[in-house]
Amino acid sequence: MKKRLLSVMLAGVMMFSLAACGNSAEDSKTDETSGGTKKSETEESEETGLSKEDLGTINVGIDGAYPPYCFLNDETDETDGFEVAMMREIADRNGLDIQCVVTAWDGMFSALDSGRIDTVAESITITEERKADYIFSTSYIEASNRFIVREGEEASITSFEDLAGKKIGVASGQEAYSQLEKMKEEYKVDFEIVPYDSSTNAYDVSIGRLDASYMNPIAALSTSEAGEMKLTVAECPAYVADYCGYAFVKDSERAELLEQIFSDTIKEMHEDGTLKSLCEEWLGADVSTGE
């Protein structure tokens, strides 16, 4: 990847090009923004020997179909949303060139494994299973899944036993899918799990094709409002508390440095209130963690 280090040879002063997160998929546009100040003079990673300017372009996977976390802006045809705002902030504070690569959800982790992207900005839940394969940044938000039903049907699912005989939609490959399978086993209840290639199965709930969708409630209600689907959250409590982080491959000096940068920046954003502000602006609630 092309390095973006600009050297002023006579003065020996280094400047960093700050880039915002934009589309870099084949049919997407790139949205770059300059600005910000250097975070600190800690440019060398003691663990890796790499410096920030060695990183070049940092590609971040985003599917662009998970509002308000990430979506394609209808007016600009560029990526937008909470996760894009997070990438802009991390880029600005560290003098990094971060590009959002629009990637289909079902190919997201294979793109990460192959090195086509450096991490995923898609509210990825930190689980023990995933930690076996990836290293994670500090968590930045809580995003516990809930059952989404049509308005007026909140009481149709008040407990996990109420799932019996129902058709529940869920995005395949996500932690939500694994949670549904665990519910079946733990509560000895039989229901149909209907997998989708993305998290956009709310529409099928609105037309009665599904009894409920199991997904992040903030994303679900945002989709419902935009499409006038009249969906709401069922009374059943959350199965587990999910915390999200940015995943990076193991055994990679580059990935280890990126994880360190992302984690340090998330902690800073949590401490100075920026993370809380971004949550309230984009998600409508403070679900920040920074731990």
Residues 28 and 79 in one domain: yes
Residues 131 and 193 in one domain: no
The answer to whether position 1 is within a domain reads no
- Between 214 and 291, the higher pLDDT residue: 214
Tell me 19's DSSP state: B
**In the block, residue with structure tokens 């209840």:** 189
Residues 90 and 122 in one domain: yes
Identify the three-state secondary structure at position 165. Answer: coil
**In the block, residue with structure tokens 């094709």:** 209
Residues 26 and 120 in one domain: yes
What is the tens place of the pLDDT at every residue in 101-114? 999 888 999 999 99
The mean pLDDT of 217-231, rounded to a whole number, is 91
Q: Which residue range(s) make up the domain with 83? A: 6-142+244-283
**CA 263 – CA 158 distance, rounded (Å):** 37
Residues 134 and 153 in one domain: no
The answer to whether position 206 is within a domain reads yes
Residues 21 and 94 in one domain: yes
Distance of CA 23 to the CA centre of its chain: 15
The answer to whether position 11 is within a domain reads yes
What is the total count of domains within the chain? 2
Residues 54 and 184 in one domain: no
Tokens of 191: 């229901």
Confidence of residue 199 (pLDDT cuts 50, 70, 90): low
Confidence of residue 43 (pLDDT cuts 50, 70, 90): very low
Residues 61 and 73 in one domain: yes
**CA 64 – CA 72 distance, rounded (Å):** 5
The answer to whether position 239 is within a domain reads no
The answer to whether position 257 is within a domain reads yes
**CA 146 – CA 233 distance, rounded (Å):** 7
* Element counts in the chain: helices (H) and strands (E): 8, 17
Give the pTM: 0.71
- Whichever domain contains 28, its CATH number is 3.40.190.10
Residues 161 and 274 in one domain: no
Averaged pLDDT of the chain: 85
Distance of CA 108 to the CA centre of its chain: 11
Cα 134 to Cα 130, 176, 206, 250, distances in angstroms: 6, 18, 36, 5
